[in-house]
Amino acid sequence: MEWLKELEKLENFELYVLLFLSLFTLWFMGNTVRFYKSEKRKVKNLHRHAKEGEVASQNKLAKRYQKGNMVKKDCSKAAFWYQQAAFEGDKVAKGHLHRFLDREQNSVKRKKC
């Protein structure tokens, strides 16, 4: 507990705390903006690669639409990209598409993808 006594002796301790919190807030905001831009860039690249017929990108993009990860949640777009991947012969996408169709037939109002 000696360090507590040393802290009490420091003049303007509150000023140091405020300075630290301000710097931390600026650092956090910068990293958040950087992360957001990075994720948006990934989604843009996924769209480009998915349109070119890359199956892995089609699956990843469909999953993002299904979960609403950095894109607006849209079940029809998710189904579309799973369908595109299924047309390319991807078995995982065929399974996801089959589940989509089962949910569509079994429920009047579908709230989940």
Percent of the chain with pLDDT over 90: 67
- 8 Å CB contact between 104 and 92: no
C-alpha distances out from residue 56 to 6, 36, 93, Å: 58, 22, 10
Please state the pTM of the whole predicted model: 0.73
Average confidence (pLDDT) over 77-92: 94
Query: pLDDT digits over 37-81, tens only?
Result: 999 999 999 999 999 999 999 999 999 999 999 999 998 999 999
C-alpha 1/C-alpha 10 separation (Å) is 15
Task: Label residues 62-95 b or e (16+ Cβ within 10 Å = b).
Answer: bbbbbeeeebeeebebbbbbbbbbbeeebeebee
